[in-house]
Homo-oligomer: A and B are copies of this chain.
Amino acid sequence: MTRPTSRDVATAAGVSQATVSLVLGGKWPGRVSERTASHVRETATRLGYRPNLAARNLRLGSTRTALLVVPALTNEFFARVYTGAARVAAEHGFGVVLYPSPDGTGPARDPFASARAALDGVIASSMAAHALQAIGGDTLPLVMLDSDPAAAGSAAHVNLAMADGMRQVTEHLLALGHRRFLHLASAVDSWTFHARAEALSTLLGPDTELRTVRSPLTPDGARTAMQAALAAPQGRPTAIVCDDDILAAGACKAARRLGLRVPEDLSVTGFDDLALATAVEPELTTVHLPAERVGEQGMAALLAVLEGTPWTAPDIPVTLVVRDSTGPAPTP
């Protein structure tokens, strides 16, 4: 009725529990004869034996499980980060369990208890990193994703080359003749967005104009923000640099409602390169962020930390993908 234990297998096979453990653990070269080994294996499968992970974890003192802290999985970017992390984890016999930190305000409840399993380490996305440290996450090996390198201190971190991405955006737009910019920025206050904003303002020359509007990461948020910004009496921006494809899509829509054509009257760029970017029309010019690679490197970094190996890696490169939402600046 109840699940068979290694001892059940042992008695059924007429050997000791230790032998079962040795055989199934693959630790029997020279300790157990081939004959009994195969007999044990056969008995185990016959009984449908599955090792009790809780017991094994207790014994080994390690669960081979990492906690990934992300704001929201419904954001495709983080879903892809998870996918990458889970893949690398699986290759090393690790598992990944998720802790969604609501609204990027940091963990609402104790993530270490919420993860029902004991944890070997933590991978935290930028929005939650410091909040996590405050809770005491630093008692566990920690890897931070897209976090301020200065604040990260000694902790391993995996960053995207956000500033370089912004450089590619501005160079593209400047080459197209744009001089009046609107930065449609995320309302979330994380290093990622801070780094982008800073890069943008330093990259633009003195003969340019830059306004910034912050908006929640929803299409509606983008639309209302845009309406306010474009309705302003003074010279309209000709290029909208958005922190996110969702914002960019909303911006395109808002522009068209105001009678502006994209990209003829207005150029729009995004970040992330979500599936959305090629689903809308015009297809978005956007900075492709290799989200899976962020997850992969995050997990790789954690594995390195767990082994005691020092871990460093250059920022993950990002590339601007030019599509149909950007064009030459309109001539007045």
Contact = CB atoms under 8 A, between A and B. Distances in A.
A109 B97 contact: no
Interface string A259-294: 000000000000000011011110000000000000
Interface residues of A, number: 50
A278 B86 CA distance: 31
Interface in A53-99: 53-55, 57-58, 63-65, 72-74, 76, 79-80, 82-83, 86, 90, 94-98
Interface string A207-237: 0000000000001000000000000000000
Contacts of A112: 50
B116 A65 contact: yes
Given A279-B276, A280-B279, A116 B58 contact: no
A74 B117 CA distance: 24
Residue from the set A116, A117, A118 with the largest chain B CB neighbour count within 10 Å: A116
A219 B118 contact: no
B52 A118 contact: yes
A139 interface: yes
A141 interface: no
Contact of A279 (B50, B57, B80, B219): B219
Residue from the set A54, A95, A113 with the largest chain B CB neighbour count within 10 Å: A54
A178 B250 CA distance: 31
Contacts of A80: 74
A196 interface: no
Contact of A57 (B54, B82, B109, B275): B54
A145 to B, nearest CB: 17
Contacts of A246: 275, 279
Contacts of A58: 52, 54-55, 58
A114 interface: yes
A99 to B, nearest CB: 9
Contacts of A86: 98, 100
Nearest to A55: B58
A43 B73 CA distance: 37
Contacts of A115: 53, 95
A323 interface: no
A280 B280 contact: yes
A117 B54 contact: yes
Contacts of A79: 73-74, 79
A27 interface: no
A52 B86 CA distance: 24
A266 to B, nearest CB: 15
A76 to B, nearest CB: 6
Interface of A: 3, 48, 50, 52-55, 57-58, 63-65, 72-74, 76, 79-80, 82-83, 86, 90, 94-98, 100, 109, 112-118, 136, 139, 219, 246, 249-250, 253, 256, 275-276, 278-281
20 contacts: A52-B118, A53-B116, A54-B58, A54-B117, A55-B58, A57-B57, A65-B116, A73-B82, A73-B83, A74-B83, A74-B275, A79-B79, A94-B116, A95-B117, A97-B98, A98-B98, A116-B117, A219-B275, A276-B279, A279-B279
